[in-house]
Chain A
Amino acid sequence: MSSRLMPGVLDNRRFLVFALLVPVLAFFVVFNTIPTLWLLGLSFHKFSLISGMPPEFFGLRNFEDIYYNKNGIWGDLGRTFLFVGVGVTVQTVLGVLLGFLFWGSKDMPGRRIALTLLFTPMVLTPVATGTFFRFIYDPTFGVLNALLTGGLGMGVVDFLGNPKIAYWAVLAVDCWMWTPFMTLMTLAALGSVPKAELEAAEIDRLSWPKRISLVIWHHGKFILMLGILLRTIDAFKTLDLIIPMTKGGPGQTTRLVAVELNKQSFESFNMGWSSAYSVLLLLISIAMTSIFIYILNRRRRAR
């Protein structure tokens, strides 16, 4: 019976497209659209999970609180932007250099093993990475301090406890973890450059800067910019790397936006205020993405 019914239904193209899209759309609406709208609604309410009171309409009070720096969130935002800016820049520069290194050594023995080792940080769970580095950075029995005092004869450095160093120590771990990602994107970008054009550039005796600007950049820029965009969005949300290392301390020196948001929402259950904060962060993310896409498209239009 069904065999008689199904072909007719499946032959209808419009129905087929619809049928294939429905599961994804349903999933998206249930787990993305509805919570986002809920979040938007909550951001105008006073709502705490521990008080047992129903949400109380609050107008723009939550956003006023944010504007007047409740919980010191402008400091968090500043630290986060610095984290994203410095982190993504370092990762991009190192990643591109490593990418060129691996690209130019295709016949080297052991290249595959080296690549595999290089990519391991990226596939680790950030929580595990953070925990490992807490031990590595530990002032009393950490391996890094053992090397510094025993090997180099320097004093003990409390990497995660010293407010002047902790931020950069955490940033270094982020770079350790995500530079391989930029290497991967660089290799993908270089792989998209047609071989004949590179060979032609060699035969035409072009200098390396010319080769990069005329051939490699032209073909590889889209993939590389995509990598930078993904890293930017991801770095903006950094949380699970920091929790096991410093939990935002010492003081507030490593408190990024996501750390504070996590604390306010899932430790203090301050849902109304957290929702407003989330909305703000979402808007910032959308703005950054739009700027990237604009830059990419403008470059293409200019050609």
Chain B
Amino acid sequence: MVKIVIDKVTKRFGPFTAIDAMDAVFDDGAVTCLLGPSGCGKTTLMRMIVGLEQPTVGRIFFGDRDMSGLPPRKRNVGMVFQYPVMYQTLSVEENIALPLTQDRSLSAQERDKRIDEVLDILDMRDKRKLFIGDLDAGSRQKVAVGRAVARRSDIVLFDEPTTNVEVQAKLLLIRAFKLVTQRLKQTIVYVTHDQTEAMTLADCVALMRDGRIIQYDRPADLYATPATEFAGWFLGNPGMNFMPARKTAAGIETPLTAAPVAADAEVSGNGTLTAGIRPEHVRLGATAAPGAVPGVLKDLSVTIAGRFIANVRIEGDTIVKVKTDEAIAARPGDTVYLAADPAGLSFYSDGNRVAAAVRQSQ
């Protein structure tokens, strides 16, 4: 059981800085997801942890052991790649056994026990004698996972392992990952650009952008209280709504509230703010209601789980995305009314969260 400590790590590829003076600690026994858009440096960070790349500046510790300059084989880590690696001349069982046979301290019975255990967790008992030609991409990736975890190394890394797998198999694969991570208490770093995957698997999500971790939080907190506009926009489908807001003597005025709202923290600066609210925190109605503001319905579409997503244009030409459970009796072009749930309203200055709206006690 070791935690991973990233100590002032910078990685440059020529003039391009992939990782910029990063400090981070990934807890032992936890699943940390590195989440971020393409090119944010998450894969580079993981390759430095595993030892396939060396940092330009800074050090990486496993527990209190300095890993600088050590090749991957000396770091005792397992890794699952984007491309499902399965040694093609070996069967499923032999693949999983291969890293174990490199460990001479392991008895044959212990080895068989571990292989059985891993095959059980991955639900691949009946496939143990098969070869790569008999397996689909999802099963191949499961074999790769089995090989990475059977060794019981302290740390296991996943590099976007579901990218090359079709949707149906992807869900099964994520379920298998969840089982594996719950059963084996290894320190896991999981790189993905898929927020659903990160939310499902992670104990903690490290949200990355431009070579930095901009927020490191539990998935629910990350979603509920994004520390930056970027986090609010990147997480959620669709992401957070943003609109200009202004601080006045009476509170903060936003286009989505009929009256100014009070903030839970003192907001400094010249009073120009951005208000952010998630689409599910906006209520949509066909008739006027107290506190609601009018807008023009642009379009309305059905999304998963029978929910609706509406785009509504309100004052100031702002388009507000609304997620709602009930359909409303309105057609595009009709006037509708929007009300903001104060619990979901927060304020940003220069891209960073500065305050949230106070819940009214009415």
Q: Which residues of A contact B (CB under 8 A)?
A: 194, 196-197, 199-200, 202-207, 210, 214-215, 218, 303
Contacts and interface: CB of A to CB of B under 8 A. Distances in A.
Nearest to A199: B52
B89 interface: yes
Contacts of A200: 79, 81, 85, 144, 147
B308 to A, nearest CB: 42
Given A199-B79, A205-B102, A206-B99, 12 more contacts: A194-B83, A194-B85, A196-B82, A196-B85, A199-B52, A202-B72, A203-B52, A203-B77, A205-B73, A206-B98, A210-B98, A303-B133
Contacts of A215: 87
B236 interface: no
A203 B131 contact: no
A205 B99 CA distance: 7
Nearest to B94: A214
B217 to A, nearest CB: 29
B179 to A, nearest CB: 22
Nearest to B98: A204
Contacts of A202: 52, 71-73
Contact of A214 (B50, B73, B78, B87): B87
B88 interface: yes
Interface string B77-107: 1110111010111100000001100100000
Contacts, number: 52
Between A194, A203, A214, the greatest number of chain B beta carbons within 10 A of the residue's beta carbon is seen for A203
B79 A203 contact: yes
Contacts of B72: 199, 202-203
Given A194-B83, A196-B82, A203-B77, A218 B98 contact: no
A203 B88 contact: no
B89 A218 contact: yes
B131 A303 contact: yes
B147 A204 contact: yes
A210 B133 CA distance: 21
A248 B270 CA distance: 96
Contacts of A203: 50, 52, 72-73, 77-79
Contacts of B73: 202-203, 205
Nearest to A217: B89
A77 B234 CA distance: 74
Contacts of A205: 73, 99, 102
Contacts of B81: 196, 199-200
B62 to A, nearest CB: 14
Contacts of B50: 203
A200 B144 CA distance: 9
Given A218-B88, A303-B89, A206 B83 contact: no
Given A202-B71, A204-B147, A197 B102 contact: no
